[in-house]
């Protein structure tokens, strides 16, 4: 797949192509090596942010190995165009891992998107890795929350199409939105998220990636803004 789009017009065209793609579906035949990735930006920003905002992307494997890269945001935040702001940072972080994950949990949407191709799907196509999106909120879709029990699920719908599922990973806590991404479907996403949460609400690879990114941000804030290309291994 070609590099990340450089403009909103290019990204919209790429997303339409991704939405029409029909890659072979992925299903685990054994316990896969699961990764997660998460991006955060410097504190104190308000509104949509700006291109050049200092950012940190963490990636992690379920066995605890992590990597972090730092660099500038590619654009302000705009709904449906998150790849312009975060896509290259996500990719660099995953490629910095010591081992390639077999499936990746991404803090972004998949088909819950105006062109049915959110960043979770786009990143998977870019890396050629099956992906599953996990978010706390929906972008455009809607759906009632599931029963308050572990494993409770309910459909997330957009224009009459099922584009994901609300999933309760821990009773008494807010459910997670699970989004099928590259080469995955809703059932695979739900099964994998449940398998990687244990007693926690958040899938372990995503939790580790988030912790690594935020730790790097705290360290970076003490020593100045990150420079493009800075990398920190937090194993």
What the chain holds in terms of domains, given with CATH numbers, is 32-42+52-222 (3.30.2170.10)
pTM: 0.92
Collect all residues with Cβ–Cβ distance below 8 Å to 151 and sequence separation of at least 6: 167, 168, 194
pLDDT digits (tens, 9 = 90+) for 188-215: 999 999 999 988 999 999 999 999 999 9
What is the side-by-side order of every strand in the sheet holding 176-180? 153-158, 161-167, 176-180, 131-135, 103-106, 34-41, 54-61, 66-72, 231-232
Q: What pLDDT is stored for residue 216 in this prediction?
A: 97
Q: Is the pLDDT of residue 224 over 70?
A: no
Written as six digits, the tokens of 223 are 């020593």
Written as six digits, the tokens of 196 are 């990687």
CA 44 to chain centre: 23
Please provide the average confidence, as pLDDT, over all residues in the chain: 93
């Amino acid at each position: 797949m070609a590099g990340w789009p450089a403009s909103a017009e290019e990204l919209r065209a790429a997303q339409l192509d991704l939405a029409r793609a029909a890659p072979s579906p992925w299903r685990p035949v054994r316990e896969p090596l699961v990764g997660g990735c998460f991006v955060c930006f410097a504190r104190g920003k308000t509104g949509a942010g700006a291109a050049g905002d200092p950012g940190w992307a963490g990636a992690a494997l379920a066995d605890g190995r992590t990597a972090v890269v730092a660099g500038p945001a590619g654009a302000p935040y705009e709904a449906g165009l998150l790849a312009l702001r975060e896509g290259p940072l996500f990719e660099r972080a995953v490629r910095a891992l010591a081992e390639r994950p077999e499936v990746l949990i991404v803090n972004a949407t998949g088909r819950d998107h105006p062109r049915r191709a959110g960043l979770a799907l786009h990143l998977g196509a870019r890396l050629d890795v099956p992906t599953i999106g996990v978010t706390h909120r929906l972008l455009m879709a809607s759906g009632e929350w599931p029963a308050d029990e572990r494993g409770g699920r309910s459909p997330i719908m957009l224009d009459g199409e099922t584009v994901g599922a609300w999933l309760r990973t821990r009773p008494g806590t807010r459910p997670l939105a699970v989004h099928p991404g590259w080469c995955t479907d809703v059932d695979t996403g739900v099964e994998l998220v449940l398998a990687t949460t244990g007693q926690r609400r958040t899938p372990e690879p995503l939790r580790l990636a988030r912790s690594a990114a935020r730790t790097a941000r705290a360290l970076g804030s003490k020593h100045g803004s990150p420079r493009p290309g800075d990398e920190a291994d937090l194993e």
